[in-house]
Structure 1
């Protein structure tokens, strides 16, 4: 007998997972399934980064959920979205987070109809952009939970600021402004979350924060919602780690990874190659741009790899030269779960499981980053020692047991 019926909306096709958000979504669904929830996954072709295919739907139904329900927009949705865009452009104001641009009337009506038919115990929303899909007044008797992933208004401001630096013409020319590669690039801007975002979270009985920093901010700026800290969790994956191949930079499809890539190639890599000309590294995942690395950068761009286990098994260690972003870096948790030590910049490591010098390294600047890379490259025994400690950290503090414990608290 099922414990609870859950309607969960995720705007993208998470299978196969190609980003940290996809992996987070599947981890949450796996945890809900483990505590005997019956899950109905709602999504839309309107917003999905991954194209929805029958093979994806079949895989999700086989492994994770009771059913997958996809909304396909019609011509009225397209008209409504264009009208909304013109309206806010004319007024020269930013549209609300949960405006009709993300949630036209068609998908809102569809979502309400599905919820009435299923009569769930819990409605689980991902991201506040799609909050309009829930009629809070009509469904006030149903427990409503929102998974933040990150503070989206800060994240959007960050992306808007770095976009001009990372236009296609600059990427092709391999010319990136040094200003963008400063470790404190975002810190000095003192970006703040919009009040509107906090008001959306207050519509839900429970708000899930992925990092302690964001949990504290949401608690300080909301009055009704109960904020639960639920970091990225992952079961350890025990491999026959070789620690012999190149260093690895696993990325997701966002501009912060592009910024991190150029930070490494322009500020860190020259220092490494001066002392270790044989150093090599590889990049996996989807970039937003086609990168053409220089031969002297000694990098292999592998693109999307459906299953990284073999890559993790052979790699020596993972680098995370990412400066910006919000939430928690899923790739750090994943790498540690696979027995690899991670070197990360302090700006993105504060909410990670890295314990400096114990299970990985946290660098304050490019010089320190290069030094830690040289240490691990020249000492594979150290890679193994820190990698084992990294895996033990995940097993002790970021396991599926923690996930199910928190989810039980949320749905009970």
Structure 2
């Protein structure tokens, strides 16, 4: 079986949730199938990629990924493009895919690694069996923007209009695919509501399992993520403004923020001696070992958060918003609330050793057994091997 893997990024080794999923699922398919990749030139591939994946032909889009630019309220209201989707040129991507198909002949599967790549399917005439990996569902994400905005505010109505437009556009994209992949049951139900006739397969997010890690009883508060990403930045900004001040009054905890960050975040924490911005780090083991609690103050609805699974694998209790804990609502070592006072209360409860260490070990074993990328990749390989295609 021959697959063309269409992805906006191929960071190797992967350093964030989206690229981690993209690369790890690719690795699983590479072991079983003949697979080529097309990605962006302005996301340069290092020599490790060509060394590890010698069988793969790598191609590049002729267009560039464009970071979203600030848009005024009025321009956003009348724009023909939708927020988030405008950073890619789907017609150009479709032309590039056609160029590869003309050059290489037959592929059995077109695998679109994100929905933003999936836009190109609207401009493809090819009838090749197509799979779309829905790391995020934008119709659910856009609806969450309205929360906390009063209905008499202009932006409430802007977000409401955009939510309707995104839902229609997303539905139009999804109906063009043979299989849709989702990361959790909640997203599966949301997609089923959009496209009742679609075939949907749940392929969970996973984690790289740590080795020889002790269950955390550290004395620091930890959040790991790419803080240049708006969802993570807005989440930690909410935490710093609404939760952190009351915590500082009651404790001398250190807050470690591990991952890429912007000047905007640097300005928020510049005078706080209890906050450390580490930037990118080669290994996370020591940070998790020294953490007593992981926080996930996220409000952007998407798939299951890879950092939540990672924290469980390290045996760390978690305090999260409800959106951040999506897919893991029943886990007793994840404390869930959108209320700042309760968020602070749960953190203090954890550091008062009011947690179930047996449950941490149980949940750690659950992740090791069910949510390693090896296990998840095996499920994807099996599913593709049994597709009704030539």
TM superposition shift of 1:406: 4.0
Instruction: Supply the distance in 2 between the matched residues of 1:97 and 1:113 (Cα, whole angstroms).
Output: 28
| Pair 1:375 & 2:361 matched | no
Instruction: Supply the distance in 2 between the matched residues of 1:65 and 1:223 (Cα, whole angstroms).
Output: 40
The change in CA–CA distance for 1:389 and 1:289 in structure 2 (over 3 A counts) is farther
Instruction: Supply the distance in 1 between the matched residues of 2:87 and 2:259 (Cα, whole angstroms).
Output: 29
Aligned to 1:127: 114
The change in CA–CA distance for 1:147 and 1:249 in structure 2 (over 3 A counts) is same
| Pair 1:303 & 2:279 matched | yes
TM superposition shift of 1:43: 0.3
Instruction: Supply the distance in 2 between the matched residues of 1:268 and 1:91 (Cα, whole angstroms).
Output: 33
| Pair 1:327 & 2:314 matched | no
| Pair 1:139 & 2:112 matched | no
TM superposition shift of 1:262: 2.0
Instruction: Supply the distance in 2 between the matched residues of 1:90 and 1:264 (Cα, whole angstroms).
Output: 28
Q: Which of 94, 98, 110 pairs up with 1:108? A: 94
Instruction: Supply the distance in 1 between the matched residues of 2:309 and 2:287 (Cα, whole angstroms).
Output: 16
Aligned to 2:12: 15
Alignment of 1:65-104 (within 5 A): 66-71=55-60, 73=62, 92-95=78-81, 102-103=88-89
The change in CA–CA distance for 1:98 and 1:323 in structure 2 (over 3 A counts) is closer
Instruction: Supply the distance in 1 between the matched residues of 2:283 and 2:259 (Cα, whole angstroms).
Output: 11
Instruction: Supply the distance in 1 between the matched residues of 2:345 and 2:48 (Cα, whole angstroms).
Output: 44
Q: Which of 27, 44, 50 pairs up with 1:52? A: 44
Q: Which of 9, 30, 35 pairs up with 1:33? A: 30
Q: Deviation string for 1:346-382 (max 9, x for gaps)?
A: 233132x35443x332234222221221122232x94
Q: Which of 316, 321, 338 pairs up with 1:340? A: 316
Instruction: Supply the distance in 2 between the matched residues of 1:255 and 1:98 (Cα, whole angstroms).
Output: 11
Q: Which of 90, 113, 138 pairs up with 1:152? A: 138
Instruction: Supply the distance in 2 between the matched residues of 1:156 and 1:332 (Cα, whole angstroms).
Output: 22
Q: Which of 227, 243, 266 pairs up with 2:217? A: 243
Check the 8 A contact 1:285/1:303 in 2, yes or no: yes
Q: Deviation string for 1:106-148 (max 9, x for gaps)?
A: 54333212234052222101233333545886531x3210111
Instruction: Supply the distance in 2 between the matched residues of 1:99 and 1:344 (Cα, whole angstroms).
Output: 28
Alignment of 1:109-258 (within 5 A): 109-116=95-102, 117=104, 119-131=106-118, 133-134=120-121, 138-140=125-127, 142-155=128-141, 191=163, 193-241=166-214, 243-252=217-226, 253-258=228-233
Check the 8 A contact 2:144/2:299 in 1, yes or no: no
Q: Which of 39, 43, 48 pairs up with 1:43? A: 39
Instruction: Supply the distance in 2 between the matched residues of 1:244 and 1:200 (Cα, whole angstroms).
Output: 46
The change in CA–CA distance for 1:133 and 1:104 in structure 2 (over 3 A counts) is closer
Instruction: Supply the distance in 2 between the matched residues of 1:135 and 1:199 (Cα, whole angstroms).
Output: 8
The change in CA–CA distance for 1:235 and 1:255 in structure 2 (over 3 A counts) is closer
SS at match of 1:348: coil
Alignment of 1:311-322 (within 5 A): 311-322=287-298
The change in CA–CA distance for 1:340 and 1:64 in structure 2 (over 3 A counts) is farther
TM superposition shift of 1:395: 2.4
Instruction: Supply the distance in 1 between the matched residues of 2:86 and 2:348 (Cα, whole angstroms).
Output: 51
| Pair 1:392 & 2:365 matched | yes
Check the 8 A contact 1:112/1:134 in 2, yes or no: no
Aligned to 2:51: 62
TM superposition shift of 1:223: 4.8
Query: 5+ unaligned residues in a row in structure 1: which ranges?
Result: 79-84, 163-177
Instruction: Supply the distance in 2 between the matched residues of 1:25 and 1:326 (Cα, whole angstroms).
Output: 16
The change in CA–CA distance for 1:364 and 1:194 in structure 2 (over 3 A counts) is closer
SS at match of 1:66: coil
Check the 8 A contact 2:183/2:304 in 1, yes or no: yes
SS at match of 1:129: helix
The change in CA–CA distance for 1:179 and 1:297 in structure 2 (over 3 A counts) is farther
Check the 8 A contact 2:304/2:326 in 1, yes or no: no
TM superposition shift of 1:271: 2.4
TM superposition shift of 1:326: 1.7
Instruction: Supply the distance in 1 between the matched residues of 2:320 and 2:83 (Cα, whole angstroms).
Output: 31
